[in-house]
Chains A and B, each alone.
Chain A
Amino acid sequence: MYEFAPQITPIIDHIIDSVRSFRPEIAISIAFIGTIFCSLFADRYWKQASFSVFLIGLLAAGYLTYTQNTENIPVFFDMLRIDTFSQYARLIILFAVTIIGLYIQQYGSYQLPKKRLGDIYSILLATTLGLHLLTLTTHWIMAFIAVEMVSIGSYVLVAYFAQNKKESEAAMKYVLFGSTCAAFMLYGLSLLYGFTGSLDFSSIAQMKGLIAAPMVLSTVALLFVFVGIGFKLGFVPFHVWTPDVYEGAPTPITAFLATVPKVGAIVLFSRLILAWTASPFYFGEVTLHFLCFVAIVTMLIGNLVALRQQNIKRLLAYSSVGHTGFLLLAVLSYVHHEPEVLFFYLATYTLMNLAVFGFIMILEKQTGSAYLADYAGLGKRFPLVFTGLTFAGISLVGLPPTAGFVGKLLVFTSIFDIYQTLDQSLYLYLLIVGVLTSVISLFYYLKIPLYGFLRQASSGTIMDLSNRISCPIYGIALFFTVLLLVFGLFPDLLLDFFRLP
């Protein structure tokens, strides 16, 4: 006991110092508790109480993140690591969550039967906290806890509005699939710990342990760990939950699932890849080949299956699978020391998805359907919505003059550079598949204008629709569409922001 006594002071000092670096997350936690209280006590007097606490909490967290000192400080005994990389990722996450909160608030206002929304904000905040941790850590236990926080939060979000069988089924599938993947990941982690005696994947100890461990077994352990991350990212073959869940979940939640968890998971994955591929040993190669193989397969399967979809939410689910494959390419460019390329793509991907889902929410509200066939001929009635949707779709394909094009160009540039320096045909295949799948994706994104503008509504189904759309979502989605154009023409605006010092 006595030998610990002199260490207590530095430990407490370290914890106090750490808390200072943990302020954004503390702000989220306070907001989390605040929203719970508000939904219990204040919401009945003022309906928007919990929503305002939610917003204030996120804005405060955003401010604190923005002004944070990011000199790669070890926090909480190296469990967390505050650096610029995580700072930018968290800013993107906070921004997206704020917008999704707005979407949910709107969704709740017209969704029938009415359901109290207070709780959903607190769940969203808890998930955000998990995502923050995901971007901050290089420690496996922390990563696992963060993945679980995000997953459990997402299960509840998907099930929150469930009224019919389809929605419950989606939630159930999600839970079952998610927990299986988590179990795999945990098993993999325990194996890794057994081999290496270290749980920090960037530590020397783990490297040494992996080098010493039997190759086959540790490869299996690595693959198990990737199962967990793969589930969050939704890459092939762990993507099978996406279409059902995306279709069954309420649209704002789908927007959430399609963007935010991916940002967090990609950041963790990038750190992992960076740490491991730097080593010349077999596990670096295993990771790299796994990454390339998965990227190719994911891009192909996501985009090819999307061709057959008739429901726009399912379509976007597969398209987001395809984009995950492309994000993995962007990870490679991060490994190549070009983090701003990854961030630019993440930011534009978030913007595009938020815009698209915003428009879909409007269409869903107006028509009550998410089937493309029901949108036939609506382009004349809602010209701006469909123009915006088409433009965002074009951006997802990656055609100029949109931000999506610049994002893809930067990623291609980066991969090409790697190809040129290393001269491995693997990277050439990545480029070719990336380019080909862009063409394939055009087919299905074109379905939106195809139904909206080119097809006529069949005479029997002329719906009694109000032509007026007046809600904040409309404004937000249009604003994002304009942003996509602006960032497409002047990408420096966004890239300068993401430049690491």
Chain B
Amino acid sequence: MGFLSILIFLPLLAALVMLLLPKSAAGSAKYLALAATAGQLLLTGYLYVHFDTAQAGINDVNSFQYVEQLSWIRLQIGADKLLEIDYFLGLDGLSLPLIVLSAVVMLMAIGASWNITKSVKGYFALLMLLNTAVMGVFCALDFFLFYVFYEVMLLPLYFLIGIWGGVRREYAAVKFFIYTLLGSVFMLLVIVGLYFSVTNPATGANTFNMLHMMNPANYGEESFFGWVRNFHEIFGIPARLIGFAILFIAFAIKVPIVPLHTWLPDAHVEAPTPVSIILAGILLKVGGYGILRICIGIFPDMAALSNWWLGLIGVISILYGAFNALAQKDLKRLIAYSSVSHMGFVLLGIATLTTEGISGAMFQMISHGFLSAALFFLVGVIYDRVHDRNIYNFRGLASHMPRYTVFVAIAFFASLGLPGFSAFIGEAFVIIGAFNSESVGTGLPRWMAVGGSIGILLSAVYFLWTLQRMFFGQTRFKGGEEWATALTDVTVREQTILYPALALAIILGIMPSLVFTPLNESVMRLVSVVSSFL
């Protein structure tokens, strides 16, 4: 059993132990969850330190690290077909930063759910199941295995939103589930199509191995998604383009892009704070990761063909999300829309198909991961105290909760892309990539970079305006004296969760090489794969 298997199944083990706990010991579930997640964090730390940054990964199994490959399912179907599914895990520069991020955010979420009282055992067990699925998604290199983990993510989230959520939790939970499933079932068809097109050169069997899918030589001639002499069309559109589009939509729902984003504000508003943290911090990244690893990795030709549209969608998401955020009265909704806007940068960065842009997109994902986690946690702090988050119901919090205000201010400034913080690096690289795109010949026009910059400007507007509305001025609350006594400043527990997140924002802002170094080889490899099709 390798490191990655331990990393994936440690939380599952914790969940099983939790379910066996007697009722009287239900309170210890959270310690178990904490121990499992802390163990994961240590493990990812170990993996990070021992990661060989010279290895690229992407489409070459030899340069993946901590690889585990076991034959899992071998089905002989019919006379001549062999279904080859492997339990195949590995790390490269794209997945390593994301598993570290997942462990950090998951730990924050456990900390944020310390005071949960409703069905504690079930709650933490579901959280651990989710944890397993997320780690699995980032490590899986077999498409079937990836899909299994990808779908397993949905159910725990459905329950976490549906049982522990707010007033309209049922609606939000079902909407989230249906949206994501709609994307992923069509993905299943593409997986099946890919499986038929790709053979394992070593055994000659059809395979779900993603790395084999990335090598054009493994595609059969005239096969459905094949490269050579492929005349397959669906409704008049070439099969490979359709395959790319379906996979892209499936992941884009997760990112989310405008106009497939409408599940996100609902899910965030209704979800309890820890689940919002996980949603924003980890799950949106699954979308970005999927686009990079799978859409671009397997369909580089189509990515090169359609990156103008991806860029356009990215810019629209940035601007539309930002304008929506401006209009929100609910603080949590505002942050949800700011997520849409910030994830738009990820898509824009990916669409540039340049090393700068994709590195920036990855960096933006990491940075947005813990910054949005911190933001949602901060919203949770006041919501826990007065059960209200309407921006206009608070005024002058600065003098009432000075420490809290400092945290909020740092998080806001970091998120709006102030130099010195991590979000700046991410957004700056994306915009550099977008500007260079025209000169490198990847085809994004310069006005898209300008659009991205306007997005940064708008994010400054809505964050600063919120700061002004809620924190400055005369102290006045809608709930009067009652609220004033309830709104105590941040506790030690809350501070211990916030410090590391904000510290990371500053550290990565000053030393971005911490992320860029492991990332670099992989991104260069990915770009070199795509650039041959430009």
Please indicate whether A and B come from the same complex rather than being unrelated chains. Answer: yes
Interface residues of A (CB under 8 A from B): 336-338, 340-341, 380, 383, 394, 399-401, 405, 409-410, 412-414, 416-417, 420, 423, 428, 431-432, 435-436, 438-439, 442-443, 446, 449-450, 453-455, 490-492, 495, 499
Contact in complex: B192, A416 (CB < 8 Å): yes
Q: How many A-B residue pairs have CB under 8 A?
A: 93
Contact in complex: B155, A413 (CB < 8 Å): no
Contact in complex: A410, B77 (CB < 8 Å): yes
Smallest beta-carbon distance A224→chain B, Å = 33
Indicate whether B316 reaches chain A with its CB closer than 8 angstroms: no
Nearest B residue (CB) for A341: B77
Smallest beta-carbon distance B474→chain A, Å = 41
Chain B residues positioned under 8 Å from A438 (CB to CB) = 181, 185
Contact with A along B170-194 (1 / 0, CB 8 A): 1001100110011001101100110
CA distance A399 to B158 in the complex (A): 14
Contact in complex: B75, A454 (CB < 8 Å): no
Looking at chain A's contact residues, is the secondary structure mostly helix, strand, loop, or mixed? Answer: helix
Contact with A along B227-271 (1 / 0, CB 8 A): 000001010000000000000000000000000000000000000
Contact in complex: B76, A453 (CB < 8 Å): no
Contact in complex: B170, A450 (CB < 8 Å): yes
Smallest beta-carbon distance A430→chain B, Å = 11
Nearest A residue (CB) for B222: A420
CB-contact partner of A495 in B75, B79, B163, under 8 A? B75
Contact with A along B154-168 (1 / 0, CB 8 A): 110011001100000
Contact in complex: B74, A492 (CB < 8 Å): yes
CB-contact partner of A420 in B73, B78, B151, B224, under 8 A? B224
Sample of 19 A–B contacts (CB below 8 Å): A399-B151, A399-B155, A400-B147, A400-B148, A400-B152, A401-B152, A409-B188, A409-B192, A410-B75, A417-B81, A431-B189, A439-B181, A442-B177, A443-B178, A450-B162, A453-B159, A454-B163, A454-B170, A492-B74
Contact in complex: B193, A416 (CB < 8 Å): yes
CA distance A383 to B159 in the complex (A): 13
Chain A residues positioned under 8 Å from B163 (CB to CB) = 453-454
User: B118-171: which have CB < 8 Å to A?
Assistant: 119, 122, 147-148, 151-152, 154-155, 158-159, 162-163, 169-170
Contact in complex: B159, A449 (CB < 8 Å): yes
Chain B residues positioned under 8 Å from A449 (CB to CB) = 158-159, 162
Contact in complex: A412, B188 (CB < 8 Å): yes
CB-contact partner of B178 in A383, A413, A442, under 8 A? A442
Indicate whether B337 reaches chain A with its CB closer than 8 angstroms: no
Contact with A along B41-80 (1 / 0, CB 8 A): 0000000000000000000000000000000011111110
B: contact size bracket? 35 or more
CA distance A423 to B231 in the complex (A): 10
CB-contact partner of A338 in B73, B78, B177, B178, under 8 A? B78
Nearest B residue (CB) for A436: B185
Smallest beta-carbon distance B329→chain A, Å = 27
Indicate whether B195 reaches chain A with its CB closer than 8 angstroms: yes
- Evaluate whether A446 and B192 lie within 8 angstroms (CB atoms) in the complex, with A400-B152, A439-B178, A491-B73 already known: no
Indicate whether B463 reaches chain A with its CB closer than 8 angstroms: no
Indicate whether B196 reaches chain A with its CB closer than 8 angstroms: yes
Nearest B residue (CB) for A384: B19
Smallest beta-carbon distance A375→chain B, Å = 15
Chain B residues positioned under 8 Å from A491 (CB to CB) = 73, 75
Contact in complex: B174, A443 (CB < 8 Å): yes
Contact with A along B288-322 (1 / 0, CB 8 A): 00000000000000000000000000000000000
Contact in complex: B188, A435 (CB < 8 Å): yes
Chain B residues positioned under 8 Å from A338 (CB to CB) = 77-78
CA distance A171 to B508 in the complex (A): 72
Chain B residues positioned under 8 Å from A492 (CB to CB) = 73-75
Can you list the 4 inter-chain pairs with the closest CB atoms, starting with the nearest?
Answer: A400-B148, A338-B78, A454-B162, A435-B185
CA distance A167 to B186 in the complex (A): 42
Contact in complex: B78, A446 (CB < 8 Å): no
Contact in complex: A394, B155 (CB < 8 Å): yes
Chain A residues positioned under 8 Å from B74 (CB to CB) = 492
Contact in complex: B119, A380 (CB < 8 Å): yes
CB-contact partner of A413 in B77, B148, B154, B169, under 8 A? B77
Smallest beta-carbon distance B528→chain A, Å = 31
Chain A residues positioned under 8 Å from B174 (CB to CB) = 443, 446, 450
